[in-house]
Amino acid sequence: MTEKLVIIGNGMAPGRMLEHLFEQAPGRYAVTIFNAEPRVNYDRIMLSPVLSGEKSYEEIVIHGDRWYVDNAVTLYKGHRIIAIDPVAKTVTSDHGVTEGYDRLVIATGSVPFIIPVPGNNLPGVLTYRDLDDVHAMLLAAQSRAKAVVIGGGLLGLEAAAGLNARGMDVTVLHVMPTLMERQLDPAAGYLLQKAVEERGIKVITKANTQAIIGDPRVEGVALADGSVVPASLVVMAVGIRPNAALARDAGLAVNRGIVVDDAMRTSDPDILAIGECAEVGGQVYGLVAPLYEMARVAASRLAGDDTAAFVHADTPTKLKVTGIDLFSLGDFADGDDRQEIVLRDASAGVYKRLVLKDNRIIGTVLYGETADGAWFNDLKKKQTDISEMRDTLIFGQAYQGGAPLDPMAAVAALPDDAEICGCNGVCKGKITGAIAGKGLTSLDDVRAHTKASASCGSCTGLVEQLMVLTLGDSYNPAAVQPMCSCTSLGHDDVRRLIKAKGLKTIPAVMQELEWKTSCGCAKCRPALNYYLVCDWPDEYADDYQSRFVNERVHANIQKDGTYSVVPRMWGGMTSARELRAIADVVDKFAIPAVKVTGGQRIDMLGIRKEDLPAVWADLGAAGFVSGHAYAKGLRTVKTCVGSDWCRFGTQDSTGLGIRIEKFMWGSWTPAKVKMAVSGCPRNCAEATCKDVGVICVDSGFEIHFAGAAGLDIKGTEVLGLVRTEDEALEVIVALTQMYREQARYHERIYKWAKRVGIAEIKRQTLDDRERRRGYFDRFVFSQRFAQVDPWSERVSGKDKHEFKPMATVGYAAAAE
């Protein structure tokens, strides 16, 4: 019989618990979740990249709405549980919903500690725990004013870096002499402070906050030495406390947190507790690795495994601030019963310290160079006797056993049980076994099947090295290949840093990212121009001198130096008036060749460069706009006649094709994009070899993508079936926007899809309605600033296929 499982809280721990439970005991429980936040499950440890601008909320969602539907989970969003009745076995929310349970899991997380000083409740004083806090900080950051972060630990420094990246003048106040004193020794704390200050963030240590001042809102922070630090925003990040009040009120045993045994059971055997609210073995935890271990144990117990038990393990600390490499693990305090090995390289900003006891590692601090963290962690976990390699130990794994190894050989030498992903407890053998056994070829595939690199991402480099070792030359991630000789950064790093640092001009990018040349080259300038157009559509002015000549003159250069011009014909449809206008232009300019293209348009070839402005002027007077047959953008939407004329047509394919093309034209993309809509499965428009294609069927619209019919021949992947034309348009626009935001310049959709993963694209653009709508809205926003031809006024929406008109901004005429 199906049992009722109720979960209070929808954070990372209960989400992971349900993943394990559905694998081990599918159908055993009818699951109901009450979530105090009005949203789905997301990766809280990635809030810092959202604050800094390196990621969006949609990118850190773990389980979208579709996941709950597919797994028959009832999710109450924005429902805070106010009472647990262990006798009646019910819970009640603040909205008056009462739900009975057979088994209950409490995962209420933690609450931020608020310093008990005057003014701590003034408007402008925030904490840093959830997405609402991030949204509040982002609103405050728009002022570009002064911010104070109280607390120099992990969260405080990540908050400071994020606000700094958003343009605020940030000061960190820390009561202790060095930053992150619980995770770092003073030497590493000094290097960390130096790196933070080099980013323009002020740091004041030994800062004892006496009061937060201001009227009617915060104006500054008063310190014990009498000084005042001005601020319009104060973020408290001084620690967390288990959120155990609900359990205490229900009569459960509570100490610092909700007391549980190693099976995650509370004092009531039908109630479990996991996550930051739980206290197991006298300890409470805030890092994700032990929380996921709690989730694994709870799931196994709920599935009927009476042997699963929680075992404490030290978890490495890593700071999620771009450009700061830090690794800390174990006990590194001074003591008479221990020794230390230290390596300092001042010029390189490297500091390494190993703390030993009885010839075994008990603590590790690495700053500036952390590649050996996994190896040191493995030696500590296994309590390996290091006496025979003591003289070379500090230099890392590559220097053991004779001649130095290259980094790849060092990773290869790691044992199969060496932990690679600390967040999720994934060892080397599980990763390489999944790659080989399941035929995994992309980083996202590995993340999906093993969870390695799926949380904080700090182990991504190691995981990619394992993929290279396992797959050989067939895996060569372009992300680590430089864009060009002007920089050592790859496309992915450049895109990430443009957002993170708020870089909005090509000179700013080149200066801040330390370009090796003064003005870039023909490879990097067009890529940078595209990334800036895509990321800052409302602020960046498209630099046409950074575009290829074909895009600048709206024509395609031919081998004899002349040009071809292709005016746009919406969905391949035309009229006698348009045909006469084309014929007149051909006669007037003595154009030697006219050809019908594969995209159902007319191409005029052999036009002299000096005639291009006049040719476009005449075409524009006849109502034509650029067909972008030469551009990295939407080129054409090929259609068949569909249900209007064809006896086999199931839907109005021509109308949908015109609607898609008019909605999306003028939007730049990383590479050319071709689309097609076929009115029935006979596929006369050849939709199954296009970047995006639609096959109309009786029940709706089957959306395809990632096809190719050029140098590579590839059939499309099926994204899914939607019922209405409106939904088809929304999905196609969201898919295109996801591609625009994530692809590397010159990367076609089919190559991007292979890298990102078909399942991931489907999840984000079809299954997750909230994320899909986010992509759609961002596309619409960018179209408001789309820079298109001055004669290309959009149609006013008089026919049934037209969309709501959007504002346009003209750009320079076709002549260079």
* Helix axis angle, 288-302 to 12-24, nearest 10°: 40
Phi, psi dihedral angles at 696 (to 5 degrees): -80, 135
- Partner residues linked to 111 by β-bridges: 241
Q: How many CB atoms lie within 10 A of CB 776?
A: 20
Bridge partners for 674 per DSSP: 636
Q: How far apart are CA 712 and CA 367, in angstroms?
A: 45
User: Distance between CA 135 and CA 236 in Å, rounded?
Assistant: 15
Max alpha carbon distance in the chain (Å)?
A: 96
Task: Tell which residue, 562, 568, 573, has the closest CA to residue 609.
Answer: 562
Place of tokens 């602020």: 539
Give one DSSP letter per residue of 308-324, joined into a string: ---------B---STT-
Q: Where are the beta strands (DSSP E) in 523-633?
A: 556-557, 563-565, 593-596, 602-607
Q: How far is CA 700 from CA 189, 255, 776, in A?
A: 60, 57, 20
Was 277 annotated as part of a binding site? no
Structure tokens at 578: 């348009």
Q: Tell me if 214 sits within 8 A of 120, measured CB to CB.
A: no
Nearest CA among 288, 280, 334, 329 for reference residue 308: 280
Residue 640 is assigned to a ligand binding site = yes
E-only strand ranges, 533-632 = 556-557, 563-565, 593-596, 602-607
Q: At 609, give phi and psi (nearest 5°).
A: -60, -40
Where residue 226 falls (left for φ over 0; alpha for ψ -120 to 50; beta otherwise) is: left
**For residue 187, how far is the Cα from the chain centroid?**
33
What does the block give as tokens for 316?
A: 């490495």
User: Could you tell me the sign of the dihedral formed by the alpha carbons of 503, 506, 511, 514, in that order?
Assistant: positive
- Which residue spans within 9-116 are E strands per DSSP? 29-35, 41-42, 61-63, 74-77, 81-85, 90-93, 98-100, 103-106, 110-112
The answer on whether 646 is annotated among ligand-binding residues is yes
Nearest to 292 by CA among 420, 424, 381: 424
Q: Is 751 helix (H, G, I), strand (E, B) or coil?
A: helix
CA atoms within 13 A on the CB side of 400: 18
**CA 236, 240, 243 angle in degrees (round to 5)?**
125
Query: Could you give the CA distance from residue 329 to residue 568 in angstroms, rounded to a whole number?
Result: 61
Residue 573 CB partners (closer than 8 Å, separation 6+): 639, 654, 658
Q: Which residues contact 263 (CB under 8 A, 6 or more apart)?
A: 272, 297, 301, 306, 308, 309, 310
Main-chain dihedrals φ then ψ at residue 173, nearest 5 degrees = -110, 125
- Our measurement of the distance from residue 62's CA atom to the centroid of its chain's CA atoms, rounded to an integer in Å, reads 11
Q: Are 395 and 410 in contact (CB under 8 A)?
A: no
Count other C-beta atoms under 10 Å from residue 478's C-beta. Answer: 14
Q: Would the annotation count 421 as a binding residue? A: no
**Phi, psi angle pair for 272, to nearest 5°:** -110, 160
Question: Coil, strand or helix: which one is 400?
Answer: coil
What's the DSSP call for residue 567?
B
Cα separation, 534 vs 332, whole angstroms: 46
Closest CA to 716 of 737, 690, 736, 740: 690
3-class DSSP state for residue 74? strand
Binding-site positions for [4Fe-4S] cluster read 640, 646, 680, 684
Binding-site positions for siroheme read 684
Binding-site positions read 640, 646, 680, 684
